[in-house]
Structure 1
Amino acid sequence: MTDKPAIAPGLTQWTGHEGLPPFQAIRDEDFAPAFDAALAEHEAEIAAIANETAEPSFDNTVVALEIAGDSLSRVSALFWNRAGAHTNDTIQALEREIAPKMSRHYSKIGTDPKLFARIDALWESRDNLGLTVEQSRVLERHWKGFVKAGAKLEKAAQDRLAAINERMASLSASFGQNVLKDESGWSLILRDEAELAGLPDFLRDAMASAARERGEENAYAVTLSRSIIEPFLTFSERRDLREQAFKAWTARGANEGPTNNRDIVREMLALRTEIAGLLGYPTFAALKLEDTMAKTPEAVNGLLMQVWDKAVMRAREEEADIAALIAEEGRNHAVQPWDWRHYAEKIRTQRFAFSEAELKPYLQLEKIIEACFDVAGRLFGIKAVEVKDVPAYHPDVRVFEIRDQADKVIALFLGDYFARASKRSGAWMSSFQSQHRLTLKNGAHGERPIIYNVCNFAKPAEGKPALLSLDDARTLFHEFGHALHGMLSDVTYPSVSGTGVSRDFVELPSQLYEHWLTVPDILKRYARHVETGAPMPQALLDKVLAARNFNAGFNTVEFTSSALVDMAFHTTPSVADPMALQAEVLDRIGMPSSIVMRHATPHFQHIFSGGYSAGYYSYMWSEVLDADAFAAFEETGNAFDPAMAERLKRHVYAAGGAVDPEETYKAFRGRLPSPDAMLAKRGLAA
């Protein structure tokens, strides 16, 4: 008889500050046996629910499912955090093993006939159960989850669906790891002053720091971290180096060799089409959109094309301006993608009499973090208190207590702000623990949210402050908006807590929060010069606000082309060659040759390893909501109007998925929006 695998205590017994996991006690090798033990424990809990002899009730079936798998949730939260934010070869090998194992586990649960019979019985009698609105939403979510897991299919179809999902999990893990390898494995080392022409001091400092991390002294490294590659493409006067760096950036996932993702994409699209067919949907997009605000691919494409037509017209005007400036400099070349950011910055400097380099000394990371917290305090009555000397999962990570007006700790927040080779690119919010009010098997009544943000800002040299671009600052506000969605959650059931909402509603709290960055009072208070401490001059502030919609055509074309390709992938029944389909879509919509998709297919992690398949459009769908929602504050004449803020907190940030998104938005705003406010926000209104 072999011993059962054990779970290292630190993975499930969180005894750190205010219930934080004891990160320093958790070793990479602890995860494999812990997953085995936690999966077995969850399987036993599920069997007990399925074999319950009492008639199915909401408590003995749905609530039991809601609190089952606590150990697995904790082990998973810690593991996926490490896999995304501080990975290594051991973790990546385990990720490739765990992803299909988890898929297999949940496929088995989703097709358990006894368990589904209990859920189905409750669903059929739901009108007679006296359920609250939240309970009805939770029951609906479970029932639909089982149906989409294949609970109603014949056994052979169930087995095929499970096999597909397992394969998809493996492919998704490999896709993301390949992109990370391409990102972390490439750098352009510069040493000569001529190679640094045009680069401002803040970028030179970041590149010198990146070079030292790679063992290169007295050198400067261009890396594929967005916080370095984008300013390099903006400021470098060396067109040959811009081209070299740009091509490496856009080739992630498409390089010849083991990190090439094209075959993975082809297989994933074919498997998604097969999933849709097994479940009775004409396309994968139809399957994914059923439970969203958009409902149909036609509604999505209608919004995207309405925006596209305006955006591409504006982008053509912007391209003509760039071509004129290139000619004015005596150069004889067409506008290429590695030229756009460089010349757009020159035009902005001319047109608005300021540059990104002039603005950046006023955007210190520390001050923008303070601004994030101040806005939350003014809107929602909370404050953040940093706790020093509390270990987190990496030395760079900072820990904050989030306190209410009675000074009670209502959440913990971890900020992980700097790029590193062990972290995937981009920015995201996630949680170690979500808010709810159920009593767990260990006797704990409810749980306090433990939320974290991950960003990839360039880390400054030792002793120097980190400086952000305006886009970086918006990213910080965006991700903290997601964090607030998790931290202000006020629901009973875990499955509808915080960001547990439809995909095209989940970006509303984050995108809406961005608006407060450029509220004049916030910029005046927190945009202070890194050396003098002086506030941003009113003249510069006015220029920044006037330039908000500069380059709107480029920015919107970048995004919308990616969203349209995503929808094409998931509405086309058979995609033999994804790259050919991408090219076909871009040609059909008239994509300018001087702009590329924000996320080309081989590194489009949102849709191939990030859960946004047939859902990348949701950023724009949510933007329709967020522009209209902020207009509600503007209409009061006060960006911090207390009555409006209270409604926003109750109906958007605290409600989670406990209420239908259309209903909760109307409760806040009184109506649903049109795209007009969003088009005006982007500077694309007619």
Structure 2
Amino acid sequence: MNNPLLKSYNTPFQTPPFDQIKAAHFMPAIEEAIKEANLEIEAITSENEAPTFENTVEALEFSGKKLHDIASILSNLNSAETNEQIQATAREASPLFSEFSNNIFQNTRLFERINAVYAKKEELGLDKEQKVLLENSYKAFKRNGADLNVKDKARFKEISKRLSELSLSYGENVLAETNEYELVISEEKDLSGLPDSAIKQAANTAKSKGKEGQWVFSLQAPSFLPFMENADNRKLREQLYKAYMAKANKNDARDNKTIIQEIVTLRSEKAGLLGYASYADYVLEERMAEDKFKVQKFLDDLLQQALPKAKEEVSEIKAFIQELGDDIDLQRWDWAYYSEKLKKKKYAIDDELLRPYFKLENVLDGVFQTAEKLYDIRFEELKNIPVYHEDVTTYEVKNMAGEHVAIFYTDFHPREGKRGGAWMTGYRDQYRRDGEDIRPLVSNVCNFTPSSPGNPSLLTFNEVTTLFHEFGHALHAMLANSKYASLSGANVYWDFVELPSQIFENWCYEKECLDLFARHYETGEKIPQEYIEKIKASSTYHEAYATVRQISLALLDMAYFSLDHEAAQSIADITKFEEGAMASTELFPKVKDAMMSTQFGHIFAGGYASGYYSYKWAEVLDADAFSLFKEKGIFNKEVAKSFKDNILSKGGSEHPMELYKRFRGRAPKIDALLERAGLK
């Protein structure tokens, strides 16, 4: 087979040749790349010279590049443009990746060489980044079973392999449930309250599904959210909400509850094999938060600040419902609807008022201009980079001297082959080798309101902040300046990784930034000053409620993974377990069959297990960090250079707290977050 994955990429900037890659190419390429990587490992372990940093630690860091590249392409396609063949390939490849990883970390001769270098670390004259790589390498072996006996090593391998299979199945079930559901509306009266943009999009969806003359709403965010916020038909809101919250919780072949029980049990067993009391103890050892007790205290303290205010916000909505004369008891499917109505009343602002000023192409240009003003980089669209779908656009990122910085892919609209949400990913991390600076390939993938015939893609303000958020992650990857890929860009402690993304959202609320791009898509008129003031005034609207919601998810995450193995095995009922974990944050009556656990992909199909708290943790950092920009000027070059040099470019090459203190001049304080959220 003529396999493009096994050749040197004859493409601009050695980007993946998506126009040549087919699903059938992956397994042969993966098997060949594993053989190649194993030979590289064999070369390290059979080295006659005594172990050195260069011939062991650095050699291991640079090994397996071809396999890593192929795995990243498969993983990204399985998230952004999957199909049955890609999913089947991912399932087949997953145990091979696990076995390969386990074989490395449980390679006795390799660990002995790493250990020998580690024992002499103080005598080697290593620089900071080399020291971190050595420390990380040594810890990785210890944390992946290198010290276990033969029996426990075998069990550790079994667990790792099974967990990778379970995570894939979990994600496939959620995607299938999301794609399958349709709310089909045949009578125009049932569209009452919905904005024209939502109605037109639902009509286009119906037409694409052969249901012309009807309207189809889905569980994809650009369809689901406008319906929940605006549809006057309460029964249909209830129907759509219950469908959304019952994903993978129907006691059928796509039910995720048994998968959850097995994942929780296996993760706790894995941690126990390594001597940790729980999976959370294992994970948090490598986080800024350090242990589960600090995380719990952080969440409890924040909940104490937010819960009373959140209850006031719920009471305010109930009073507003009475004021309107609506004879209902407030339920979950009512919250977004009445919250949006009250917001319009209080601030005379809503998504439909703002959408005309947020044409997607203009917002993206604003993101680029913001990055240029802060970090002296610019973006040029390229037409010659192969892409995996026609929706994908590519850009070359350059510095002001015209030097190449990165390749940036954008993929912004929902489709059946793409999972929900928004994320940053990469096809190559930045690193340096043999005097060459290998620059990164970075991608932002989102699910924004798509354009339709005669209608451009007009974003909600929440979608604007999402684009800025994900682009903040992309900047972290693009501006990386490390020796080693494993320490480059966003390869940092999990509770630090959201700082670059969340801080970038802050610019969306500033007139100086909005004036760069927020123009009416028809008239070219700048967004009025009064709208900007309303955006800022409404920025803390129901922030306490949103904070409690985030805390509830973090508490659920910690509840699952703080269990010891015996307790994890004894979870008898996922529904009751979830209710107990989130009870302290509950503001509404329980809805039958509604469940977060069965669709909580962050912790069961992603990397956030024992780490969901990091969103709120990073908010403390981003609010505190942005306060310096506010003090000095949001486009202050000196502050921006310090943030770039001390945070964005450093990746994981130093401890994040040291990097943060170098930028800010002190440790972070929570005051700025409480003030910004209206909780102080």
Taking structure 2 as the reference length, the TM-score comes to: 0.97
Query: Does the CA contact (< 8 Å) of 1:225 and 1:425 recur in 2?
Result: yes
1:315 to 310, 317, 330: 310
2:515 is the counterpart of 1:520 = no
Q: CA deviation at 1:208?
A: 2.2
Q: CA deviation at 1:599?
A: 8.1
How far, CA to CA, are the matches of 2:661 and 2:45 in structure 1?
39
Encode CA deviations 1:583-617: one digit per residue, 9 max, x unaligned: 11222x14111699998110010000101100000
Query: Does the CA contact (< 8 Å) of 1:340 and 1:594 recur in 2?
Result: no
Q: Residue in 2 aligned with 1:639?
A: 634
2:103 is the counterpart of 1:112 = no
Q: Residue in 2 aligned with 1:391?
A: 386
**Is the deviation greater in 397-406 or in 513-522?**
513-522
1:584 partner amino acid? G
2:96 to 87, 101, 106: 101
1:617 partner amino acid? Y
How far, CA to CA, are the matches of 2:589 and 2:304 in structure 1?
17
Encode CA deviations 1:135-192: one digit per residue, 9 max, x unaligned: 0101111111111110011111111011001000000000000000000111112232
Q: CA deviation at 1:527?
A: 1.3
Q: Residue in 1 aligned with 2:334?
A: 339
Q: CA deviation at 1:254?
A: 1.1
**Is the deviation greater in 84-93 or in 12-21?**
12-21
Encode CA deviations 1:476-512: one digit per residue, 9 max, x unaligned: 0010000010000001111101111000001110111
Query: Does the CA contact (< 8 Å) of 2:553 and 2:582 recur in 1?
Result: no
How far, CA to CA, are the matches of 2:392 and 2:595 in structure 1?
28
Q: Residue in 1 aligned with 2:130?
A: 135
1:480 partner amino acid? F
How far, CA to CA, are the matches of 1:80 and 1:311 in structure 2?
38
Q: Residue in 2 aligned with 1:604?
A: 600
2:582 partner amino acid? L
How far, CA to CA, are the matches of 2:273 and 2:142 in structure 1?
11
2:380 partner amino acid? V
Q: Residue in 2 aligned with 1:269?
A: 264
Q: Residue in 1 aligned with 2:154?
A: 159
Q: Residue in 2 aligned with 1:3?
A: none
- Partner of 2:79, secondary structure, is helix
1:592 partner amino acid? L
2:429 is the counterpart of 1:434 = yes
How far, CA to CA, are the matches of 1:386 and 1:208 in structure 2?
32
2:658 is the counterpart of 1:663 = yes
2:322 to 327, 347, 365: 327
1:136 partner amino acid? K
2:675 is the counterpart of 1:680 = yes
RMSD, aligned α-carbons: 1.6
Q: Residue in 2 aligned with 1:549?
A: 540
2:615 is the counterpart of 1:624 = no
1:34 to 29, 38, 41: 29
Query: Does the CA contact (< 8 Å) of 1:307 and 1:679 recur in 2?
Result: no
How far, CA to CA, are the matches of 1:291 and 1:567 in structure 2?
16
Encode CA deviations 1:293-323: one digit per residue, 9 max, x unaligned: 1001111111111111222212211111211
Q: CA deviation at 1:329?
A: 2.9
1:581 to 577, 581, 594: 577
2:356 is the counterpart of 1:356 = no
Q: Residue in 2 aligned with 1:450?
A: 441
Query: Does the CA contact (< 8 Å) of 1:401 and 1:412 recur in 2?
Result: yes
- Partner of 2:19, secondary structure, is helix
- Partner of 1:548, secondary structure, is helix
Query: Does the CA contact (< 8 Å) of 2:228 and 2:333 recur in 1?
Result: yes
2:167 is the counterpart of 1:172 = yes
Query: Does the CA contact (< 8 Å) of 1:312 and 1:591 recur in 2?
Result: no
- Partner of 2:211, secondary structure, is coil
How far, CA to CA, are the matches of 2:71 and 2:503 in structure 1?
30
Query: Does the CA contact (< 8 Å) of 1:13 and 1:21 recur in 2?
Result: no
- Partner of 1:340, secondary structure, is helix
Q: Residue in 1 aligned with 2:485?
A: 494
Query: Does the CA contact (< 8 Å) of 1:148 and 1:279 recur in 2?
Result: yes
**Is the deviation greater in 220-229 or in 594-603?**
594-603
User: Hey, which bits of structure 1, 4+ residues long, moved more than 6 A?
Assistant: 595-599
Encode CA deviations 1:521-573: one digit per residue, 9 max, x unaligned: 12123111122111111112111111001011221122110001101111122
- Partner of 1:621, secondary structure, is helix
How far, CA to CA, are the matches of 1:136 and 1:610 in structure 2?
29
Kindly tell me: are residues 557 and 437 of structure 1, through their superposed partners in 2, closer, same or farther at Cα, counting changes over 3 Å? same
Q: Residue in 2 aligned with 1:246?
A: 241
1:556 partner amino acid? T
Where does 1:362-401 land on structure 2 (aligned, <5 Å)?
Answer: 362-388=357-383, 390-401=385-396
Query: Does the CA contact (< 8 Å) of 2:509 and 2:532 recur in 1?
Result: no
How far, CA to CA, are the matches of 2:208 and 2:161 in structure 1?
37
Query: Does the CA contact (< 8 Å) of 1:311 and 1:556 recur in 2?
Result: yes
Q: Residue in 1 aligned with 2:291?
A: 296
Q: CA deviation at 1:463?
A: 4.1
Query: Does the CA contact (< 8 Å) of 1:322 and 1:347 recur in 2?
Result: yes
2:506 is the counterpart of 1:511 = no
How far, CA to CA, are the matches of 2:507 and 2:385 in structure 1?
30
What is the number of equivalent residue pairs in this alignment? 674
**Is the deviation greater in 218-227 or in 621-630?**
218-227
1:487 partner amino acid? M
2:605 partner amino acid? S
How far, CA to CA, are the matches of 1:17 and 1:323 in structure 2?
58
**Is the deviation greater in 156-165 or in 358-367?**
358-367
2:229 to 221, 231, 234: 234
- Partner of 2:251, secondary structure, is coil
1:582 partner amino acid? E
1:452 partner amino acid? S
Q: CA deviation at 1:39?
A: 1.0
Query: Does the CA contact (< 8 Å) of 1:12 and 1:71 recur in 2?
Result: no
- Partner of 1:430, secondary structure, is strand
How far, CA to CA, are the matches of 1:606 and 1:215 in structure 2?
34
1:354 partner amino acid? I
Q: Between the two proteins, what is the percent identity of the paired residues?
A: 38
- Partner of 1:528, secondary structure, is coil
Q: Residue in 2 aligned with 1:462?
A: 453
Q: CA deviation at 1:367?
A: 1.1
2:404 is the counterpart of 1:409 = yes
1:600 partner amino acid? M
How far, CA to CA, are the matches of 1:483 and 1:201 in structure 2?
33
Q: CA deviation at 1:453?
A: 0.5
Query: Does the CA contact (< 8 Å) of 1:12 and 1:75 recur in 2?
Result: no
Query: Does the CA contact (< 8 Å) of 2:431 and 2:439 recur in 1?
Result: yes
2:202 is the counterpart of 1:207 = yes
Structure 2: where are the runs of 5+ without partners? Answer: none
Query: Does the CA contact (< 8 Å) of 1:120 and 1:143 recur in 2?
Result: yes
Q: CA deviation at 1:198?
A: 0.6
How far, CA to CA, are the matches of 1:215 and 1:112 in structure 2?
56
2:475 is the counterpart of 1:479 = no
